């Protein structure tokens, strides 16, 4: 199947590592241009260079999704460079866990600002360009948005709000030909999980093995970032033209809810 992404341009927040980087690789491989936003300039530059070596037309901006001015600049630069924006991928985020009693207002506000308001801000700023292209919005969420777990209160609430945002916006923008979908992640290999493995003093492979057995992932393994890249690229592509308002679990069967 041809994804028909050649010549299109996509913005990805959190594009320097993990899922965002895997998606950028897939899009570049399909002939699309990508603009990446992340805070850490060094890792971002390395990812952008790797994508250019693969033949990609890449724009990178060091910025933070919690800062509106960074997102305005991101959209402005992308429009100048590519003269179009065909989709935005609201993907930046971090793992978060802990007990409810330990989370003061600042923890809640930070989680909502990063995971919910980051997506709200970028989508709003990019909307004029998406209207011109009849573009696509894709939100990377977590299965905790559908099936909240203990010790995940702020992140589960942020992700549930992300689901509501996806559905409400999909219905509001459908008459304009703009599609809005979400991918809900279970456990996929990532920089954050590898950092946790090193804090626990174990190799990533051993850490993932423990996660599979503790969480009882039905497919018996964690996911690979390229599996997200494949699904996300499809959702961004014209081949998914009748798909909007969907929230698809990418979790090896982990989430108890469809």
19 touches ligand NAP (CB under 6 A): yes
CA contacts within 13 A on the Cβ side of 162: 37
Question: CB of residue 12 vs ligand NAP: minimum separation in angstroms?
Answer: 9
- Are the C-beta atoms of 225 and 189 separated by less than 8 Å? yes
37 touches ligand NAP (CB under 6 A): yes
Q: Candidates 4, 29, 31, 43: give the one binding ligand NAP (CB under 6 A).
A: 43
26 touches ligand NAP (CB under 6 A): no
183 touches ligand NAP (CB under 6 A): no
Question: CB of residue 28 vs ligand NAP: minimum separation in angstroms?
Answer: 16
17 touches ligand NAP (CB under 6 A): yes
- Are the C-beta atoms of 80 and 28 separated by less than 8 Å? no
Q: Candidates 30, 57, 64, 72: give the one binding ligand NAP (CB under 6 A).
A: 64
158 touches ligand NAP (CB under 6 A): no
Quote the CA–CA distance of 113 and 29 in Å, as a whole number: 32
Q: Candidates 139, 158, 190, 237: give the one binding ligand NAP (CB under 6 A).
A: 190
Q: Candidates 92, 117, 137, 165: give the one binding ligand NAP (CB under 6 A).
A: 92
66 touches ligand NAP (CB under 6 A): yes
Considering beta carbons, is residue 34 or 185 the nearer one to ligand NAP?
185
Q: Give the range of 129-137, 162-170, 185-193, 196-204 binding ligand NAP by CB under 6 A.
A: 185-193
Considering beta carbons, is residue 91 or 237 the nearer one to ligand NAP?
91
Interacting residues toward ligand NAP by CB under 6 A: 13-14, 16-20, 37-40, 43, 64-66, 91-94, 114, 140, 142, 185, 187-188, 190-192
């Amino acid at each position: 199947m041809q994804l028909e992404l050649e010549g299109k341009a996509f913005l990805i927040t959190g594009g320097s590592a993990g899922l965002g980087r895997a998606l950028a690789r897939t899009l570049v491989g399909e002939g699309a241009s990508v603009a990446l936003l992340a805070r850490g300039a060094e890792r971002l530059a390395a990812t952008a260079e790797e994508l250019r070596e693969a033949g990609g037309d890449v724009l990178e901006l060091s910025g933070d999704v919690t800062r509106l001015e960074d997102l305005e600049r991101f959209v402005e630069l992308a429009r100048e460079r590519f003269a179009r924006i065909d989709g935005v991928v609201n993907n930046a985020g971090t793992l978060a866990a802990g007990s409810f009693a330990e989370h003061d207002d600042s923890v809640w506000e930070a989680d909502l600002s990063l995971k919910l308001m980051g997506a709200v801000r970028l989508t709003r700023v990019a909307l004029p360009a998406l209207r011109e292209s009849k573009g696509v919005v894709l939100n990377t969420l977590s299965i905790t948005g559908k099936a909240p777990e203990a010790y995940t209160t702020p992140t589960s609430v942020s992700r549930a709000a992300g689901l509501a945002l996806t559905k409400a916006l999909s219905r509001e923008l459908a008459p304009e030909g703009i599609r809005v979908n979400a991918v809900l992640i279970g456990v996929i290999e990532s920089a954050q999980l590898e950092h946790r493995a090193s804090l626990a003093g174990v190799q990533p492979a051993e850490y993932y093995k423990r996660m599979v057995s503790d969480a009882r992932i039905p497919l018996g393994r964690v996911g690979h970032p390229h599996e997200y890249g494949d699904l996300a690229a499809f959702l961004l592509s014209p081949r998914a033209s009748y798909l909007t308002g969907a929230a698809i679990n990418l979790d090896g069967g982990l989430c108890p809810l469809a």
